Structure 1
């Protein structure tokens, strides 16, 4: 009965469109009052202890770094580099946009931040080039979801903390899967552009022009190398890397590119603080929710029920993938990771999955939720930029969804896609 109260009240609050962090907190509160097994102070303790973590300090700094770099002229320069290479091919603008999203993913660590930073520039530019606005918006929304797969990644930090897994190893494991998803989206963009007759810029790529754009964007291109190189070179931890990214972004945006003005910095910090507050409220309430699950032994019951459905490893993994895709439609990624990791990770380990590989599988599956309604955060960000309705955008993004699901299955059944660089 306690489990029914916990999940039933959470479902009710979500249907009432109450924010996910508040919904989880209220569901936990009602369950504690009903069961009377633990004191109410348990919620307050959970809110404090869950965020009292050095690795978790990386989250607000990566959020701030993404905000700074998005407004500091970095995204436009990254696009010009990509466009100097592929701009002349069929669908060149679309392909260059995906490349830009992939590179910005290695800076921001956030899907919605990638859509906001790249979409604000590229969706209007693609429409001016003759692209259908629904396709342009869907493309940016889908490519933006790579932001949580290619490192650094905020959900990977959360998974590392929740599952007691190396965050550095998670970062490196996401590189190849993120690149494969990016190239999968590029193949579909090329096919669609060829079908619709979207031509390139007509300007042949030259080494001189490429070198010019690379030189112009050199400070932006250095960011992922500094962040990831510093982590894997043992110079600093992922948390310290996030702080370095903030300082570097400020220097590049304010003093080198001079596109981020001093008067804009307070607004940037306020936006980052609001996003951070939302994330940490979710972390705190979801941690309490997860502890209630463990008290009720729900993870063990779900694991046992899944293992009784079939003794075939592949069938169970496919069921887990379906669960991740469904949960991603309705629940925010960070909350999903905190709640589902204690439930699904032991199942994955019992099936012989490496915790790093299983983490990439989980995060990729939940990342697809960025583009699936009704939650679909990237859809709402893209819709806010272009004005395309969520209904129309949901139809336009369906082919991108299929591409990402196909690659998710490949990642699930070919461990070396995730583990090759780690090993």
Structure 2
């Protein structure tokens, strides 16, 4: 166990990508402890990727890229602006709503920030909002990407913890995602009122609003099709990702006519690069997980925790604190692959609902994406907005505080995560 930790943290400190960090640490222990032949390493990588549900990942990524390439972001932004643009801090509200709507397409926080977030940040700056505030709100609003379905991290979580399903997690993420978006809008309203940020000057009339809504309807229907199809038993979550891809292509190319065939090769290349990055993490984490299992780390951790005599609530609070600190230094996806095999069995022993625990873990690790100094969303937002990191971080704290309050609500009130999936028949 000591060698595993030394290699893992040592290679990570050297700046080696997390996928190779996990693979190198696992392979080093297998070789040094003579746990098995080193041929086990490629076998574990392959077995980690040999899963049908993983096909959902490239398809959801491709669907989001097609929607972005087809400028669906502009359609969603006009709709959001028509809904809330006239209110105090209207462009900030439009920022949050656009990210929320786009999260029902992309399943990725980074895609939200780099796609619609970049557009709205520029519009907010042109309307007189401080650059740091616009970028901080964009990064904070993008948090809902992995929480509102579809979600790439939920697909991976379900593969890591057999006590939950992708469909159940999708349903469990809807209310928490809406709560986070609502908290961002309330925070934006409070700050905008105090600082005097005005709304948009013109409110569309009933006829204009109806036209904008009708124009946005095809884009708004995608999450409805995905969730409705899964719940209705029309297709599985994996098949839903393929349906989303075809739908995005048809809408962008033939309905909105903003997706050019010449852009498709670039979209495919970006999809392949992003998919390869995700799959590399999953494959390498399987080696890491194998070593943890052989060394009986989950069992030892469970026995130690049981000896503390913690209640279920105290356990969840301890997990919150640990994951918030852990998420500062590690991205959500490898965090799920490393920690869930250890923590999920403990939660089950404590009597915590698996869906409730999954949402607590996912929200915790996702918050790490906007937590300095390593938050991935902060760096993506800085790049697309060209705002210095210091300005973003100074404006970030009210939004991060609001999200932590929502996290505490989700911790103390499990029904916020479990009521909807249980009502729809998803008990796991």
Which TM-score tier does this pair reach, normalised by the shorter chain?
Answer: over 0.9
In the TM superposition, what is the alpha-carbon distance from 1:53 to its structure 2 partner?
0.6
Task: Output the CA distance in 2 between the equivalents of 1:181 and 1:122.
Answer: 19
Q: Show the 5 A alignment for 1:42-61.
A: 42-61=40-59
Change (3 A) 1:391 1:6: farther
**Are the aligned partners of 2:109 and 2:144 in contact in 1 as well (CA < 8 Å)?**
yes
Give the 3-state SS of the residue equivalent to 1:148 in structure 2. coil
Deviation string for 1:171-220 (max 9, x for gaps)?
00100000001000110011111111110112235332221111111211
Structure 2 residue aligned with 1:301: 300
Task: Output the CA distance in 2 between the equivalents of 1:306 and 1:389.
Answer: 43
Deviation string for 1:273-293 (max 9, x for gaps)?
001000000001111101111
Give the 3-state SS of the residue equivalent to 2:420 in structure 1. coil
Q: Does 1:361 align with 2:363?
A: no
Task: Output the CA distance in 1 between the equivalents of 2:252 and 2:156.
Answer: 28
Task: Output the CA distance in 2 between the equivalents of 1:85 and 1:205.
Answer: 9
Give the 3-state SS of the residue equivalent to 1:400 in structure 2. helix
Task: Output the CA distance in 2 between the equivalents of 1:105 and 1:12.
Answer: 35
Structure 2 residue aligned with 1:407: 406
**Are the aligned partners of 1:361 and 1:412 in contact in 2 as well (CA < 8 Å)?**
yes
Match of 1:35 among 21, 33, 38: 33
Task: Output the CA distance in 2 between the equivalents of 1:160 and 1:122.
Answer: 33
Task: Output the CA distance in 2 between the equivalents of 1:137 and 1:62.
Answer: 26
Structure 1 residue aligned with 2:385: 386
Task: Output the CA distance in 1 between the equivalents of 2:400 and 2:286.
Answer: 30
In the TM superposition, what is the alpha-carbon distance from 1:390 to its structure 2 partner?
2.6
Structure 2 residue aligned with 1:128: 126
Range with bigger deviation, 144-153 or 390-399: 390-399
In the TM superposition, what is the alpha-carbon distance from 1:28 to its structure 2 partner?
1.2
**Are the aligned partners of 2:289 and 2:338 in contact in 1 as well (CA < 8 Å)?**
yes
Structure 1 residue aligned with 2:87: 89
Deviation string for 1:56-114 (max 9, x for gaps)?
11011111111111121211111111111111110000001101100100110011001
Give the 3-state SS of the residue equivalent to 1:217 in structure 2. helix
Deviation string for 1:10-53 (max 9, x for gaps)?
11111111111111111112111211111111210111011111
Structure 2 residue aligned with 1:7: 5
* CA RMSD after TM alignment: 1.2
Deviation string for 1:226-284 (max 9, x for gaps)?
11111111100001100011111111112222222111100011001001000000001
Unpaired segments ≥5 residues, structure 1 = none
Structure 1 residue aligned with 2:336: 337
Q: Show the 5 A alignment for 1:369-384.
A: 369-384=368-383
Structure 2 residue aligned with 1:267: 266
Change (3 A) 1:373 1:41: farther
Structure 2 residue aligned with 1:221: 220
Give the 3-state SS of the residue equivalent to 1:83 in structure 2. helix
Structure 2 residue aligned with 1:397: 396
Task: Output the CA distance in 2 between the equivalents of 1:321 and 1:310.
Answer: 18
In the TM superposition, what is the alpha-carbon distance from 1:323 to its structure 2 partner?
1.3
**Are the aligned partners of 2:96 and 2:185 in contact in 1 as well (CA < 8 Å)?**
yes
Task: Output the CA distance in 1 between the equivalents of 2:146 and 2:381.
Answer: 17
- The TM-score, its normalising length taken from structure 1, stands at 0.97
Structure 1 residue aligned with 2:116: 118
Q: Show the 5 A alignment for 1:302-317.
A: 302-317=301-316
- The TM-score, its normalising length taken from structure 2, stands at 0.96
Task: Output the CA distance in 1 between the equivalents of 2:339 and 2:288.
Answer: 11
Structure 1 residue aligned with 2:276: 277
In the TM superposition, what is the alpha-carbon distance from 1:309 to its structure 2 partner?
3.7
**Are the aligned partners of 2:69 and 2:263 in contact in 1 as well (CA < 8 Å)?**
no
Deviation string for 1:114-160 (max 9, x for gaps)?
11111221111000110111111111111111000000000100011
Task: Output the CA distance in 2 between the equivalents of 1:344 and 1:394.
Answer: 31
Task: Output the CA distance in 1 between the equivalents of 2:27 and 2:145.
Answer: 33
Structure 2 residue aligned with 1:241: 240
